[in-house]
């Protein structure tokens, strides 16, 4: 026991708790209970340890100890690779795949959350050592708020209007509103699709959103989330029964065609509204310098 | 180059309109054609698309 024992212990515990807080298994069922969680808790513990010992190391004038943090960085980049590989492997066996953009988003979240853990432990241990445990407790609260901020991305209902539109056939062509989805030849399939299919039109609320929802990865994420939450009328060997999203080139609206097992319109709307806007799909054409100049003149 | 889509077979009731590389199935009636197309769709794991009332193609996507 020395003067650093309690601060380090405090930092490690707070850091690990922070990781636990950020590790939610929701409808995505990822990370898997129980073993997937254990992996990330263990890594979170390591991250917390690294963050916590950094401050005492500096106080002891062991400046080289900081290089440990670089090892941590490469370690957690590996976490991102691991998540990406696992999810990409699993994706091949999904009835409606997540898509690469969604997977990349999840992998990035896993990496960045470990850095948040390091940050939390570093700040709390630092506060404990420099001032006292009460200041450290205050720092924990602030870190908690920061973490909450980082965890909550925006969802689709904030950027688009969702309206229910019936699907219909013109000849063999399947349409949602006026958006062409695909060609279904067999009358038998057409009947199935009329019975189970639902159509939704997502209208972008502004110009930036147009390009974000046009992203193929974002569209696949919508289909995946809807299929997870509402079930999907599909099996291997029935490639014609596939949920699809197509875009109206004129005004950037997208037509969502889904085949849920639960045909509740309001629920489907809620599910689509709750789909996360993928970080990698967000585009901000209005922020481009060329665009801004045009507006000033 | 990877070819992602391919016409696996053609089913028709009007044999004058077609010729070529993919396996061609000629049927007598529309009902017959629907049945053959449904079977082929399941067997080939492709989608039947209607080009006209007389012709279906099975496409692997």
Per residue in B15-59, pLDDT tens? 888 888 889 999 999 999 999 999 998 888 889 999 988 899 999
Whether residues A133 and A60 fall in one domain:
yes
Q: In what order do the strands lie in the sheet with A244-247?
A: A160-165, A198-204, A254-258, A244-247
Report the C-alpha gap between A246 and A201 in whole angstroms.
10
pLDDT digits 0-9 by tens, A223-254: 999 999 999 999 888 888 999 999 999 988 99
- Judge whether residue A29 has pLDDT over 80: no
Of A85, A118, A152, which residue is a domain's last?
A: A152
Q: Do A172 and B34 touch (CB under 8 A)?
A: no
Alpha carbons A292 and A288: distance in angstroms, whole number: 6
pLDDT band at A295 (very low <50, low <70, confident <90, very high): low
Question: Average pLDDT in the A47-58 region?
Answer: 90
| Residue B35 backbone dihedrals phi, psi, to 5 degrees | -65, -50
B60 contact partners, CB below 8 Å, separation of at least 6 = B5, B6, B8, B44, B45, B46
Give the C-alpha separation, A12 to A120, whole Å.
9
Strand-pairing partners, residue A245, are A256
Answer yes or no: is pLDDT of A297 > 60: no
Tell me: do A73 and A144 sit in the same domain: yes
Return the sign of the alpha-carbon dihedral for residues A193, A168, A274, A239: positive
In whole angstroms, give the CA distance from residue B29 to residue B53: 11
| Of A198, A286, A199, A201, nearest in space to A248 by CA | A201
Q: Is the pLDDT of residue A161 over 90?
A: yes
> What is the count of structural domains for chain A?
2
As a whole-number percent, the residues of chain A with pLDDT over 70 amount to 97
Of residues A185, A238, A239, nearest to B56 (C-beta): A185
What residues form DSSP beta bridges with A175?
A168, A180
Q: Which domain holds residue A234?
A: 157-286
pLDDT at A296 over 60: no
Does A88 have pLDDT greater than 80?
yes
> Do A168 and A73 share a structural domain?
no
pLDDT of residue A104: 92
Q: What is the mean pLDDT of chain A?
A: 89
Query: Residue A178 is encoded by which pair of tokens?
Result: 């006026």
Q: What percent of chain A has pLDDT over 90?
A: 55
- Give the residue from A135, A152, A169 where a domain finishes: A152
A232 and A278 both lie in a single domain: yes
Collect all residues of chain B within an 8 Å Cβ-Cβ radius of residue A189: 41, 48
What's residue A17's pLDDT?
A: 92
A295 lies in some domain: no
Interface of A with B (CB under 8 A): 171-172, 182-189, 237-240
């Amino acid at each position: 026991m020395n003067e650093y024992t309690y601060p380090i212990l405090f930092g490690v515990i707070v850091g690990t708790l922070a990781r636990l807080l950020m590790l939610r298994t929701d409808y995505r069922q990822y990370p898997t209970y129980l073993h997937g969680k254990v992996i990330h808790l263990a890594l979170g513990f390591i991250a917390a340890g690294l963050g916590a010992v950094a401050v005492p190391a500096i106080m002891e004038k062991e400046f080289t100890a900081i290089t440990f943090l670089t090892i941590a960085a490469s370690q957690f980049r590996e976490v991102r690779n691991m998540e990406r590989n696992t999810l990409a492997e699993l994706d091949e066996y999904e009835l409606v795949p997540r898509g690469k953009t969604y997977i990349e988003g999840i992998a990035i979240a896993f990496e960045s959350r470990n850095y948040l853990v390091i940050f939390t432990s570093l700040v709390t241990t630092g506060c404990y050592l420099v001032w006292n445990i009460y200041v450290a407790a205050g720092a924990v609260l602030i870190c908690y708020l920061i973490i909450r901020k980082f965890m909550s991305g925006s969802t689709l209902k904030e950027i688009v209007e969702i309206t229910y539109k019936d699907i219909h056939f013109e000849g063999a062509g399947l349409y949602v509103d006026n958006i062409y989805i695909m060609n279904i030849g067999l009358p038998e399939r057409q009947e199935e699709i009329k019975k189970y299919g639902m159509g939704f039109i997502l209208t972008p609320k502004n110009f930036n959103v147009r390009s974000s929802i046009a992203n193929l990865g974002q569209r696949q994420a919508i289909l995946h989330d809807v299929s997870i939450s509402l079930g999907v009328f599909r099996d291997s060997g029935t490639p014609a029964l596939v949920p699809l999203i197509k875009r109206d080139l004129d005004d950037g609206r997208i037509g969502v065609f889904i085949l849920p097992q639960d045909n509740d319109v309001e629920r489907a709307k809620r599910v689509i509204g709750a789909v996360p806007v993928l970080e990698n799909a967000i585009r901000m054409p209005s922020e481009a310098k060329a665009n801004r100049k045009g507006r000033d003149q | 180059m990877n070819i992602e889509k391919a016409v696996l077979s053609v089913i028709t009731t009007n044999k004058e309109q077609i010729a070529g590389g993919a396996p061609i199935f000629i049927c007598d009636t529309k009902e017959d054609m629907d049945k053959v197309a449904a079977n082929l769709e399941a067997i080939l794991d492709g989608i039947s698309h209607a080009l006209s009332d007389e012709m279906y193609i099975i496409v692997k996507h």
